[in-house]
A and B are shown apart, each in its own frame.
Chain A
Amino acid sequence: MKLSLIVALVGAGWLAAQSPKPSNPLGDAPAVAEAGRLLYNRSCTSCHGPDGGEGARGPALDFAGRRYFRVSEAAIFDVVKNGIAGTAMPASGLPDTDVWGIVAFVRNIRATASDLVVPGDERNGMAVFTGVGGCSKCHMIRGQGGVLGPDLSSIGAQASLNRLRDSLTKQRAIPNGYRPVTVTTLKGEVFRGVARNSDAFSLQLLDESGKLRLFEMSELRSAVFAKESLMPYGFDKTLNKTQFQDLLAMLSRQTRTKVKPTLQGENEVGR
């Protein structure tokens, strides 16, 4: 009885030894991923594009519309270290520490913001959102806020951290359905807002007070579309460093609906 128990325990230990579960010894801190990005851009861009984009001979590594076969840390490590037999993907020949750095980078660019540990105080971030940042004038989170901009209740599960940061700091393209427009009716009334939709014959305006106004073009004297989004940018300059980081952290944790599944395939070897 006792002996069989011991055998069973030894057996379990042996099995465990046969299926190691490697994880990135460097961790997943942003600095690790950033160091990995530099390594990647130095070592991988003769085929893949810079920063994980599409290259002349290799595919993009972060294309949202693609379902990647190798997603776990172990699987990506294996591919970078050993290559993929029968394809143009070679073994990198890099030391393991560098390979792990690249693994951290690839995982990072594929992750939504909510997959990452973004340092910052969520409550302070919400205070910035509704207060000094002015975000809630146009954006809604969980039913609180304005309607002129996109709802952000799930933005952490929809956008990568880089996209979130870019949205706050850089001027970006106008998202579909949010082009600012000023219309003047034949009677001379003027309405401003965003065009939720429009074509040559009609225009569906969400006006600045949050009211829908629907026009046929024949009822309008003019419809002047703006070239820039209503979304302000440069928050990294207008907010202080703590405020900005807290806002980013808060947004990264907005996951009412998980639009993209969280990173999957942990501890699998994908070959």
Chain B
Amino acid sequence: MRLRMMLAGACVTVSLAAQVTDRQLHEANSANWLTYNGSYDSRRHSALNQVSVSTVDTLVAKWVFHVPNATALQTVPIVLDGVMYVTQPNEIYAIDARTGRQIWDYHRVPARQKGPNRGVAIWRDKVYFTTPDAFLVALNAASGNVVWETKLAEASDGYWSPAAPMIVNGKVIAGSAPGDHGLNGFLDAYDATTGERLWRFNPIPKPGEPGSETWAGESWKAGGGNTWLTGSYDPELNLLYWGIGNPAPDFNGDVRKGDNLYTESVVALDPDTGRLKWYFQFTPHDVMDWDAVEVPVLVDAMYEGKPRKLMAHADRNGFYYLLDRVTGKFLHGTPFVKQLNWASGLTAAGRPILVPGVEPSLLGTKVCPAAIGAANWMSPAYSPETGLFYVVAQEGCGIANKSTETFRPGGFQYRATGDVEVRDDSWKVYVRALDLTTGKLKWEQERVGSTGFGGGLLSTAGGLLFSGELNGEFVALEAKTGKALWHFYTGQRITASPITYSVNGKQFVTIAAGSDIMSFGLLK
């Protein structure tokens, strides 16, 4: 009774609990994992080195957290001061990152069934995530109480949102899905304290706006261009970089003649206003659903004898690109897959040189890469120690067809057909290490037995590259050589990207495998 009185008196209305500051987000303290790709530059490289080339043989499972009713989790855990946040669509779980024990859970009701969900963002005392019914929800990070929620778009129109939001300058940056329903996408900024919308960037320009001339007739009205993966941010340049998805209909471009800006582009935006600073389009007038949402990785390095602010990007279309991220200027591009037949190369400006006839047709045409792409949403990584860019690369082709289809509002497919993947011996998945500036292959490790991409990559100062395979193997590769040094069979398909963090001086490596979150640490 006395305890109760004391505690009741001590309850406070404003939590002063563990909070993420802007500074922490900028510096990306290695003990925590605070953003979708670990840091604003999206390198997915951690300074933690307790688990290293010389100790990884004693890496053992520390705990497993089962996410009820999950199947193929894509969540990237966020960790702050020993508390981990993981998601599946409509749900967030706060977990003790040392023990795997649940602290709180949030379930959105009623739950619209759409997936996946790729994780939360964290800032000050709140966590943020987006939902299958196209809301942005802010919750108290200590208790899971909903503080506010804001509607991004009309779910009844077919919109939803799977990507982990990003916090920049006190704003929550959140995007849209789906890519294949002819719904025009957006990228929004909301006040992280109040939930008020501050700006919206429309990847499909309206008539009269710059870029609208790249859409024939009224085709812009159902143009697509969604933002279903998290981007990157450069605090020094104060530029936000975000990949834009495919134009619609995906496989038949006849009704949308033109380059179809800003689909299949990376856009650089002023995060304070949402204004477009520059763009670079990887696949003008795409007809293969090659969303350009793959994570842009920001690296400062020497290029042609000068220090440059670079952006590295391995695109779904099969080319690896190096851009100047100050201006958007194309510097270099080269294929990172062998099976690429739709373009014979890139011009000096980075525009693909098309091979006539290699595009979807009524009877079917072999196009390589397949529509699923040479790369996709599974995160790449970059190690400043090896100077290598690591990417999950898929070799394979599809027989691509096109048809005519009419846009129907309400969230229906508007693809005008697709491709049938050629699953012969040539269909293979690799982890590839590319020289950052030349894109030349340094080593590759085949994901033997995987029929699809699987999960993404994590680089660490321990000289390791962690890789989650679709066949269930969680593997540590030597970052320099690609040699497999450690593996753990999780028993479930891995479709998420790994992270690392440390609590009380002990390093953990964590990945979502199937329906479970699995965390590993050294035996002693």
Which residues of A approach B to under 8 Å, CB–CB? 134, 136-138, 140, 142-149, 151, 153, 177, 180, 182, 192-193, 196-199, 201-202, 204, 206, 208-212, 214, 216, 226, 228-230, 232, 256-259
Given contacts A137-B13, A212-B83, A258-B110, contact A201 B99 (CB under 8 A): yes
Contacts of A142 in B (CB 8 A): 146, 148
- Which chain B residue has the least Cβ–Cβ distance from A130? B13
Contacts of B83 in A (CB 8 A): 212, 214
- Which chain A residue has the least Cβ–Cβ distance from B1? A228
- Which chain A residue has the least Cβ–Cβ distance from B148? A143
In the complex, what distance in Å separates the CA atom of A145 from the CA atom of B13?
Answer: 5
Q: Are A137 and B18 in contact (CB under 8 A)?
A: no
- Which chain A residue has the least Cβ–Cβ distance from B194? A143
What is the distance, in angstroms, from B411's C-beta to the closest C-beta of chain A?
23
B140 within 8 A of A: yes
The dominant DSSP class at the B interface is: loop
Instruction: Kindly specify which of B101-109, B241-249, B335-343 makes contact with the partner chain.
Output: B101-109
What is the distance, in angstroms, from B330's C-beta to the closest C-beta of chain A?
46
Given contacts A137-B11, A153-B146, contact A182 B3 (CB under 8 A): yes
On chain B, which size bracket covers the interface? 35 or more
- A-contact 0/1 string along B94-129, CB 8 Å cutoff: 101111011110001110000000000000000000
A148-B143, A210-B14, A214-B82 given; name 20 further pairs at CB < 8 Å. A140-B147, A143-B147, A147-B140, A192-B6, A192-B7, A204-B103, A206-B143, A209-B16, A209-B17, A210-B17, A210-B142, A212-B17, A212-B18, A212-B94, A212-B103, A212-B142, A214-B83, A232-B4, A232-B8, A258-B110
B145 within 8 A of A: yes
Q: Are A197 and B142 in contact (CB under 8 A)?
A: no
Q: Are A210 and B8 in contact (CB under 8 A)?
A: no
In the complex, what distance in Å separates the CA atom of A118 from the CA atom of B374?
Answer: 61
What is the distance, in angstroms, from B336's C-beta to the closest C-beta of chain A?
42
A-B contact count (CB 8 A): 122
B363 within 8 A of A: no
Q: Are B3 and A192 in contact (CB under 8 A)?
A: yes
- A-contact 0/1 string along B78-95, CB 8 Å cutoff: 000011000000000010
Q: Are A226 and B11 in contact (CB under 8 A)?
A: no
Pick from A136, A212, A232 the residue with the most CB of B within 10 Å.
A212
In the assembled complex, 30 residue pairs joining A and B whose CB atoms fall closer than 8 Å, in A order, are A140-B145, A143-B145, A143-B146, A143-B147, A146-B13, A147-B15, A148-B11, A180-B3, A192-B6, A193-B7, A197-B101, A202-B98, A202-B99, A204-B102, A208-B7, A209-B15, A210-B12, A210-B142, A211-B16, A211-B17, A212-B18, A212-B94, A212-B103, A214-B83, A214-B96, A214-B103, A229-B4, A230-B7, A257-B108, A258-B110
Contacts of A198 in B (CB 8 A): 101
Contacts of B110 in A (CB 8 A): 258
The 3 A-B pairs with the shortest beta carbon distances in the complex, nearest first, are A210-B15, A147-B143, A143-B147
B348 within 8 A of A: no
B237 within 8 A of A: no
- Which chain B residue has the least Cβ–Cβ distance from A260? B109
Question: Which single member of A151, A197, A230 contacts B8 (CB below 8 Å)?
Answer: A230
Contacts of B138 in A (CB 8 A): 143
Q: Are B18 and A214 in contact (CB under 8 A)?
A: no
Interface members, chain B 1-45 (any A CB < 8 Å): 1, 3-4, 6-8, 10-18
What is the distance, in angstroms, from B192's C-beta to the closest C-beta of chain A?
13
Contacts of A192 in B (CB 8 A): 3, 6-7, 10
Q: Are B146 and A177 in contact (CB under 8 A)?
A: no
Contacts of A146 in B (CB 8 A): 11-13, 15
Contacts of A232 in B (CB 8 A): 4, 8
Given contacts A202-B96, A216-B99, contact A228 B145 (CB under 8 A): no
In the complex, what distance in Å separates the CA atom of A256 from the CA atom of B139?
Answer: 14
Contacts of A226 in B (CB 8 A): 3-4
What is the distance, in angstroms, from B347's C-beta to the closest C-beta of chain A?
53
In the complex, what distance in Å separates the CA atom of A216 from the CA atom of B506?
Answer: 14
- Which chain A residue has the least Cβ–Cβ distance from B81? A212
